[in-house]
Each structure stands twice: as structure tokens, then as C-alpha cells.
Structure 1
Amino acid sequence: MAVSPVLIAALSALVLLLHRLSKVGRRPKGYPPGPPTLPIIGNLHQMPKEKGHLQFQKWAEEYGPVYSLILGTKVMIVLSSDQAIKDLLDKRSGIYSSRPEMYLGQIISGGFRVLLMEYGETWRMIRKLVHNNLNIKAARTYVPYQDLENKAMLLGFLEQPNDFVGHIRRYTNSLTTQMVFGFRTTSTEDPKLKQLYHGFEEFCRVTGTQTAALLDVFPILRHLPDAVLPLRRYAKELHRKEYDLYIGHYLETKKKLKEGKAKPCFCVDLVRAQEQEGFSDGIAGYTSGSLLEAGSDTTSATLVGFVQAMLIFPEVVKEAQAELDRVCGDRLPDLNDLRDLPYIRGCMKESLRWMPTDILGVPHAVIRDDEYMGYKIPKGAGVMWNVWAVAMDPKRHPNPRKFDPTRWAHDTQTSAEAALNADATKRDHFVFGAGRRLCQGMHIADRSLFLAISRLLWAFDFRRAVDEKTGQEIVPDMDDITEGLFVLPKPFPANIVPRSEAKAARVREEWAKMEELLDADLQWKSVPEGLIWKDYEPDELASKA
């Protein structure tokens, strides 16, 4: 009996499919080593549900500074040493600057979030625009904003010390809203401030779930309806709220700029670029919104970690205050004191190392096949830079879980200088990324951290809260952190009090001087001199179009 050609074709297709499936989940020969895999799923069953940074650190200790994870149809290369990060993400940045697909992350972002954007023309255009507004020269012009918001934060600590997280968040957020949109955030209860932080926390949580990972590595699952994928339905809801916030901020500022009512800000350049390049309000809104996220979240999370460290390591507070009293006496520290306060500078660097907010980095992606240390790194692989493992390497930092500012006694580099140092061992921390994805606001963040840490320690004592039932001091758990793409300590109590009535009075006096610069709505009467932006002048060609 003759066999039907259709049957032969079907059988051939089945054999081919089974052959391909037999390879899914296996670690191909020549790839970096890693934990044993299972068919189809690879290492997916070993991916931790929580505290993933600890498991990734263990794998680094077992398999070395470069290892691989096979995640279904995807490959993740994990870099766990400063040298590997320097060699690949920095020195070969031309092919290591893209992003792997993050399906739910892109749904939340509408495809507009710069953080997740693939390396290409749109990303390069945005990067150039941002660089012009955040470079070293531009960063210096924002110091008046930082000084004012810092003093507002000090007053908040004085009047409502239990809401210290809120005051820290308002400090970093208001600085950023001024730079990006031209207005101050004046209250810790501002609904848009709360929405920003809640939305970003949910973005980080959702993108860090196992459901998100499964949808990335098995794209066929994306065909399931929302009824079966409630997390995708939630991601769409997050996007609607986020879109309204970011595009709302941008369009309102754009309208005020054209009416001559807005303060100079980043959106001046963004509106001009939109008129010249013709990109959408979605891209414009998310570009400005991404800056708002970056400027608000990382610095505030680092400062929350700093406060926690001061409660766990009270000896650091005493040493820091002794240096501040010796150098600054009865006046508030300022940026001119940086060189004379090496221990405070060490506190800043140690805060970034000890509580790294992007604990596993945001993965890069390689755009063509590459080879490193004799291993093949395939095109399209995700490349994770294991920030936690490097920061907690005892060979690099002895007794790494101790908060020890003296580690940096002889390191006078800024974050940018350290990141660009040719000697990988001289980089102080990895919070601000690597290669062409390096954060361009590092200069601003360094100054905000120094002003906050120096002035908070100058003005306040950080004491442990006492358990009312037991009468025992509450020591925060340094390992109790949030989950997701970016992290910070979970809520903890603190007893923050002024060091003296004289210092409390000085904090009030300094804020009173600042209030003279503000109108009835606590916005600047006139913006400080020297800002990089000029008043917005509509593009003539665009206005005639």
C-alpha cells in the first residue's frame, strides 16, 4: 500500500519538531558552565521565588565569574566579577548595549520606557538628548535646587521624623520634577508622588515574577487569554495609570512652555526635539517620565538604606558626627566641604555598595555571537551583571555585610570617574550601570547623596526604636528587602531626633531663608541663574505646519 505524501510530510514535520524540542532546555556545548538542566525547561525550575540575589551569588561561587542559565528557549549569561563586566559591557559595549525582551515590562511601559528600549536609533536619540541635560556642566547648574530641597527635607525630619521615608522620597522627587518639568513637589502627600513610587514598585514586582519569566521564555503562552493571565491584565491597568501620569506631566508642561508660563526645564529641549524629529507624545512623555523615575527612585532607596545602616551600625554615626563637628562646627555642611569630609564621602560610597538598589542589574543583550574566556555567548542572549555578588565579594570587600566607610579612605573618585576607570578593581560600586547604558545622572546623584548624608548626620541622631512590649531595641534586619528589578529595605522603625536645640534652630533658620525665594504656592519666584535652559521659543517651521 502506498504511503500518502501528506502523511510523509506530516511525519517529517513531527520528527523535526521533536528533534528541536529535544534541544530546548539543554546547555549547548561551549556555553559557560551552570547548574544542571532539565529538558524543555532548562534551569527554570531552579529560579528562586524570592531573594534571587542570594541564589545568583551561590551559583557564582560554584560556577565562576561567568556562568549561564538556560531558561526554556532563552539563554542568560551571568557576569559576577568586576573584570567580566568591564571586559564585556564596557569594552564591547557596541554589541552588549541592547535589552532582552521583557514582555510584561513592555506592556506596562507601552513599549516607550527608555530603561527597556532596545539599542537603536530611537534609544540613541534619547540618550543624546538626556546627555545634553545631565552632563557634568549641566549638573552644576542644579545645585540651587538640591540645596533647597535638601533643607526642606531636614525640616521634614525635624517636624515629622516618623515619616522619614516620605521626606526622603519628596526630596529626590522634587529635585527631579524641577529639572524635568519645572515645578516643585511640595508635600509628602502629593498624589502624583505617591502614584509614581507605587507604580514603579509594581513595575519592578511584576517584571520580577515567575509568570513574567515564563512569558519571556515560552512566547506561545502569550496567546492565552487575560482570564488565564490575570497578571497581564494587571500590567495593562498599570500602563493606563502610568501613561496618564507621564504623558499628563509632559503635555501640561508643553502647554505651559508654549504659553510662556512654565519654568525652564528639560522639557524645553524635549519639546524642541519632538518638533524636529516628529516622535510621539508617548515617547516624549515616557522619556521625561523615565528621568523622573530614575531621579526619584535610586537615590531615595539608597538613602533609606543609609538610614537603616546608621541604626545597625551606631559607631558609624559617632565617627561621622565627630568629623562633621571638626570641619563644619555650627554651620550646615555644603558641597565645598566634600574634600575635607573623607569619612562622609566614604558613607556615600558605602551606601551605594552596601544596599545596591539594582541588585541584579537590568540585563543587557548581545546583538551578535561573541566569545569570552573560551566560552560562546550566543546572539540574543541576556547578559546579567550580578551587582550583589560583586559588591559582596569578600575578596574585593572584606567582611562585606559590615557598613564600613573606611574602605574608601583613599578613594576620591566620583561615581563617574570610578565607572570609567580602566582598572576594574578600582570601581567603587555598580549601581549606575555599565557601558552605554551607564546612568547619565551620576553627577547629580552623587551631590544629592553627599548633601543628604552630611546634613542629616550633622543635624540628627539616629537611634533604634524600642519595642513597647519587651523594652528591647529594635535592630532592623539588613536582609529584609523588597523583591523585584529594583529593591530597598522593607519598612522599619527609627527614632530620629535633633542632636541639639541649637542645630534644630539652625535647620529652621536655613529653611526660612529658602522660603523667601518661594511664592505662596512654594514654587520658585524666579529660577536660579545659570540654568542650562533658556525660555522656550516655538520652532517657527513647526508652528507654521
Structure 2
Amino acid sequence: MHLGTLEWPIHCVNHVKRSDRVDFMKLFWFHFFPGYFLLSKWVLQQIGARESYLPPGPPTIPLLGNLLDFPTSYAHLQFTEWAKQYGDIYSLKLATSNIIVISSAKMARDFLELRGSTTADRPPSHVAKIVYGEYELVFARHGPVWRKLRRVIHEILTREKCAQHVAVQKAEVSQLMYDILERPEDFYTHTRRFAASVILAVVFGIHCPTYENGFVAKLYSTLWEWEQVIRPGGVPPVDIFPILKYVPERWAAWKALCRDIRKNQRKIFFGLLDICEDRMNQDRRNDCFLEHVLDKREEYGLDCEMIAYVGGTLLEAGTETSAVNIQSFLEIDDVVGPSRTPELDDLDGLPYVRAIIKEVFRLRPIGPTGVPHATTADERIGPYVIPKGTTIFVNLWGIFRDEELYDNPHQFNPNRFLTSKFGTKPGADTTGCRNDLVFGSGRRICPGLHLANNSIALNAMNLLCGLNISPAKDPATGEIIPVNFSDNADSILLVPKPFKCEITARDPHKAEIIRAQFAAAKSTFDHFEHEHALKI
């Protein structure tokens, strides 16, 4: 008969004479129980403690580790402060879970690029599984489904395939310029409409001419809800303490929110897929990405569910593209001339505009801590062992503000990229530096970088060529209203809150060109579905 540790002395007591029981209980309480208590205490203290083979990090407390210290808002700022104290690689303990934060381009290359086979996983995410199942590409675990979806997206987002869609990107930029010219006070929603409409046109063959039609606003609302759920602290730590998954919904509002997000996302994803399939059945193709996926669905081995989520992943990833609004006019006038708007090919002759784009990427990375990786095997890096199942953050915010790499890293200075390939100061170790580091590392690098780069370049050139963008002024005092560059939405993405500025055409001739370009673009939009199709 097997007896538990605490059952054993009680069992023994029942088999001794009554007169001896008092002595036996004294023996138990004064000798056995203290040892048992000390052993239990020692075991509990080990939970949450940092193992000696891990990189250093903030002090831990029993059971929880660094859970109470882990930032739930603007994590990149705390990650960077810890990097200053503990170095380019440090560890955090969340109960029994391990987190590694990398704040060095060289370390990111050594760990994520050179060991991509064991660092391409994602950490488990219960909320992502609730919302997406297994078909969301960004947060999907490394496995056969991820590899299948990744192959599809890589094939449709090659540099050559993206070049076929420059025409619609140019047309969307022309509308953005026109919208800003006509209603400059609404530039924030104009840029949002542009970003959503570009990806809708390229992926689903649908043009969205207004923000107010409801679909784009609904899309951003759903995206915002998802970003709030997935950010650190958005839900209780269910991946660390799985028992929290079983808390009844009446005490766990996040469960209902996840269910609503999934419902809204699937309505959008499958509604867009239906529109695309109906158009193909009516022989009204417009060469969008999803048409190619549907044509090759058997070759790819995709079912309807997978196809909808391929399109949905691209839609969500492409709607947060930021517009570049910096001043630089002389170079553009010299290359482009006074009678037309910039083309993508003009970028080769515009080194300062290229420098502006790189500096914006450096100073304001859209995902300042990236999307975390996870290890699928034990790895050694320097003197440290990184166990299987460890979550890895690449702290881009900290890397791009490293004073050993950049002179005055907090200052906006595109000139740094005119004197150095990576904008680094003379003599700096540039191992691992990449101008596309903002798009991720290793096998999880964003497959949409070519499409995004084309949109950003066209935006930058056209905005700088056609518009004057200056700080807004107080109508009562005439004083400049400063823009707070730290006023960002509390999200996993670095998205500025709406702000004010003054936007005007550089001159009447530029205004005429902008209006003419938008009028000419209408023939391009005619090949796409319009907002009347979006009954979603």
C-alpha cells in the first residue's frame, strides 16, 4: 500500500500503543515536521528564482519571480532601462517561465539569425489560440501549419510580385495627397484609410475610397481590441498560471472579449474571401494576391479556413503603416522636376529621402519590442544556457538608442545615414546591424517588407514633394503647439495618438498636379471592387 508523506506518521500512530502515542507525536512535530516544512519552503523558494546558468537580471521573489516587475505598459522603456543595468542580454523569471531580452544587434544576429532552426518558435499564447485557432501566422507556433502558410505568403510577397502592384499603390498615394490637400485637418484618418485600402486592394482586390464608410473604422476598432488583449498585462497571466484558464467567464471578462474579437475577425476575413471568390466566378479578376492563392489552393494544400486567415493576416499586418512627414524639398525638386509626382524609381536618386526613411525606422520602430520568439531546444550563448521553451524579446527600442552605436541617438538626424550605411558613428561595431531590422529577425522576419517599403517610399516622396508640413499654431496666441513625441497609444505597437499640424500645398502648381494625379488614378481604381461590396 502506497502512503503519502503526511499519511505515513499517522499510519504508524495507529499501530502503536496508546501510551506511546504522545512520545511519537512529539517525535513527529519536533523532528520530522520541521524538516518537512524546511524542505517545502526550499522548494517554493526555488520557483521563481533565477537559475545560475541564465543571464543576470532584476532581483526575483519566491513563486512569482519578476512577475510583479514585468511592465504592462510601454514595455520597451522598461526593457531599455534594464538593459542599461544588466547588459545586452538579461533574463526575467515569470514563475517557472524564462524570458530573455536582447538589446544588441550582434546578439540578435547570433541568436536569431545564425540559430534560426531552434529560435523560430513563438511562446504559447492562450488568447491567440482562442481568437485565431492555429491559423494566425504572426503568433502561430513553429510547425507544419505555420510552414505551409509561410510558404504561401512568401511566394506571393516576393520583390517581383510586389512590383506588379506598384500601380495601385501609386493610385492610393494620389488619393492620400488629394484628401490631405482638400481636408488637411483630417490627415490622421486619411493616412489610416490609405494604409487599409492599399492592403485591401493588393490582397483582396477592393478599393476603399473613404474612411467614413464604416468598414475601415470597424477594421481599426477590431485591430485595437486585439492589440489591447495581446499586449503585456492585457489579460491575466494564463500562460504562466494555466489554472486561470478555468476561471468562469463572469469573473473573466477577457474571455468574452476574445470571443467577440474572433467573431468580428472571422466576419471580416470570410466576408472579404467571399467577395473575392464571387468576383472570380463572374470572370472579373483584377490580379490580387488572393486570386493567385485560390488558383493554387490544391498545390498549396489549403482549405477555405487557411485561405481566409492568409488574407486576414496580411490585412492586419498592413494596416498600421505609418506615413513619413519630414521636410526636405530641394533634392526632390532637382530629381523629380516641377511637372510630375515622384515614381518609385526616383528613390535611387534621392539619398536624403532614403536617409529620412531609415531614420524614421530607427527613431520610431513600429514594434519596439518585436514579436517574441521562443526556443525549441537548449542553446548556449556566451557563458549562458538558454533552456528550451524560453521566450525571447528583441528590444529594438534599446538597440536603436545605444550610445555606443549612434551619436545623440534620441535626436532625429537623417544625416547619420549619409555618412554611414547603418547610421552608426565612426568605429562602432556594426555586426548584426541591418536597415530592415525593424521587420524582425531570423525565420520570423516579416514577409511583407517589400510591399511595406514600396508604400513607405511612395508616401515619403510624394508628401515631401507636394506639401508643406509645419507645426500647428494656437489660433488665439499664434504660438506653436508642440507635438509630444512620447504621446503614444498604449499598445504593442508604437502608434502616435492624433496630433495637430498645418498642411498646405507647396504652391498652386503643386496643388494642380496633385488633383490631376488623383483624377488619373480613377481609371486604376475602376479595376477594383468599391465600398458598396463591403457589406461586412
When normalised by structure 2's length, the TM-score is 0.87
CA separation in 2, counterparts of 1:182 and 1:522? Answer: 6
Following the alignment from structure 1 to structure 2, what is the Cα–Cα distance between the partners of residues 126 and 278? Answer: 10
Matched, 1:376 2:399: no
Preserved contact between residue 80 and residue 390 of structure 1 (Cα < 8 Å): yes
Distance 1:134 1:503, change over 3 A: same
Q: CA deviation at 1:471?
A: 3.6
**What does residue 401 of structure 2 align with?**
392
Q: CA deviation at 1:88?
A: 0.8
Of residues 325, 340, 351, the one that matches 2:333 is: 325
- The more displaced of 53-62 and 462-471 is 462-471
- 1:185 alignment counterpart: 208
Aligned to 1:419: none
Q: Which residue of 162, 165, 183 corresponds with 1:142?
A: 165
Aligned to 2:193: 170
Q: Distance in 1 between matches of 2:504 and 2:397?
A: 32
Kindly state the Cα deviation for residue 188 of structure 1 after the two structures are TM-superposed. Answer: 1.8
Give the AA of the match of 2:473: V
Q: Structure 2 counterpart of 1:462, which letter?
A: I
Partner residue of 1:344? 353
Contact 1:186 / 1:522 at 8 angstroms: preserved in 2? Answer: no
Structure 2 spans left out of the alignment, 5+ residues: 10-35, 423-428, 532-536
The amino acid across from 2:112 in the alignment is: L
Which residue number in structure 2 is paired with residue 542 of structure 1?
Answer: none
Alignment CA distance shift 1:412-1:256 (3 Å)? farther
Given that 2:105 and 2:433 are in contact with CA atoms closer than 8 Å, whether structure 1 keeps it comes out as: no
> Counterpart of 1:417?
none
Task: Measure the CA separation in 2 of the matches of 1:251 and 1:227.
Answer: 35
Query: 1:127-175: CA deviations, max 9, x gaps?
Result: 1111111112112111111111111111011111111122212222222
Q: After TM superposition, give the deviation of residue 359 of structure 1 in Å.
A: 1.0
Contact 2:207 2:528 in 1 (8 A): no
In structure 2, relative to structure 1, the CA distance for the partners of 1:375 and 1:11 (3 Å cut) is farther
Q: 1:426–1:276: structure 2 CA closer, same or farther, 3 Å change rule?
A: closer
Counterparts of 2:421 and 2:173, CA distance in 1: 23
Q: 1:360 aligns with which of 369, 375, 378?
A: 369
Query: 2:448 and 2:528 mapped to 1: Cα distance?
Result: 28
* Aligned pair partner of 2:52 in 25, 29, 40: 29
Q: Residue deviations 1:104-142, cap 9 Å, x none?
A: 233232332111001111111111111111112112111
The answer to whether structure 1 residue 207 and structure 2 residue 230 are counterparts is yes
1:512 deviation in Å?
Answer: 1.8
C-alpha distance in structure 2 between counterparts of 1:520 and 1:429, whole Å: 33
How far has the Cα of 1:254 moved from its partner? 2.3
* Higher relative helix content: 1
Tell whether the 8 Å contact from 1:103 to 1:212 is kept in structure 2 after alignment.
no
Counterpart selection for 2:79 from 56, 61, 67: 56
Q: What count of residue pairs does the alignment treat as equivalent?
A: 497
Q: CA contact under 8 A between 1:192 and 1:245: conserved in structure 2?
A: no
Deviations 1:23-81 (A, max 9, x none): 22111111011000001110011122322211100101111111001012211111110
**What's 1:530 paired with?**
none
| In 1, Cα distance between equivalents of 2:529 and 2:522 | 7
State the Cα deviation string for residues 263-321 of structure 1 (Å, max 9, x = none). 22221232244445654433221111111111222x2xx32xx33xx4xxxxxx1xx11
Q: Which of 142, 154, 172 is matched with 1:131 structurally?
A: 154
- Give secondary structure in 1 for the equivalent of 2:473: coil
Give the residue type in structure 2 aligned to 1:343.
Answer: Y
1:543 matched to which residue of 2? none
Which has the higher Rg, Structure 1 or Structure 2? 2
Alignment of structure 1 residues 143-542 onto 2, 5 Å: 143-212=166-235, 214-276=237-299, 279-297=302-320, 299=321, 302-303=322-323, 306-307=324-325, 310=326, 317=327, 320-330=328-338, 331-410=340-419, 424-519=431-526
> How far apart, in 1, do the equivalents of 2:5 and 2:335 lie?
86
Q: CA deviation at 1:371?
A: 0.6
Change (3 A) 1:195 1:18: farther
Alpha-carbon distance, 1:510 to partner: 1.4
Question: 8 Å contact 1:391–1:429 — kept in the other structure?
Answer: no
Moved more, 432-441 or 265-274: 265-274
Q: Which moved more, 1:222-231 or 1:87-96?
A: 222-231
Go from structure 1 to structure 2 and tell me whether the alpha carbon gap of 1:515 and 1:88 turns closer, same or farther (over 3 Å shift).
same
Asked if the contact 1:73–1:218 (Cα under 8 Å) also holds between the matched residues in 2, the reply is no
TM-score when normalising by structure 1 = 0.86
Distance 2:380 2:441 in 1: 19
What is the CA–CA distance in structure 2 between the aligned matches of 1:246 and 1:518, rounded to whole Å?
22
Q: CA deviation at 1:197?
A: 1.7
The Cα RMSD (Å) is 2.4
After TM superposition, give the deviation of residue 179 of structure 1 in Å: 1.7
Residues in 2 aligned to 1:465 and 1:281: alpha-carbon distance in whole angstroms? 49
One-letter amino acid of the counterpart of residue 325, structure 1: D
SS in 1 for 2:261: helix
- Residue type of the partner of 2:509? A
Q: 1:247 to 1:21 in 2, by over 3 A?
A: farther
Contact 2:207-2:525 within 8 A present in 1 as well: no
CA distance in 1, matches of 2:116, 2:146: 14
CA distance in 1, matches of 2:265, 2:200: 16
Aligned-partner SS, 2:68: helix
Q: CA deviation at 1:363?
A: 0.2
Which of 191-200 and 488-497 deviates more? 191-200
- In 2 relative to 1, CA 519–405 (structure 1 residues): closer, same or farther, beyond 3 Å? same
Name 2:5's counterpart in structure 1.
8
Equivalent residue letter for 1:328 = V
Q: What is the distance in 1 between the residues matched to 2:47 and 2:439?
A: 34
**In 1, distance between residues paired with 2:129 and 2:477?**
48
Structure 2 SS opposite 1:45: coil
- Give the whole-Å Cα distance in 2 for the aligned partners of 1:429 and 1:42: 34
C-alpha distance 253-371 of structure 1, shift in aligned 2 (>3 A): same
Q: Does 1:99 align with 2:122?
A: yes
- 1:517 and 1:508 map into 2 onto residues whose CA distance is 15
| Equivalent position amino acid for 2:402 in 1 | D
Amino acid at match of 2:276: T
- Counterpart of 1:515, as a letter, is K
Which residue does 1:113 correspond to in 2? 136
Range with bigger deviation, 320-329 or 275-284: 275-284
CA distance 1:362–1:40, shift in 2 (3 Å): same
Q: State the shift of 1:326 in Å.
A: 2.4
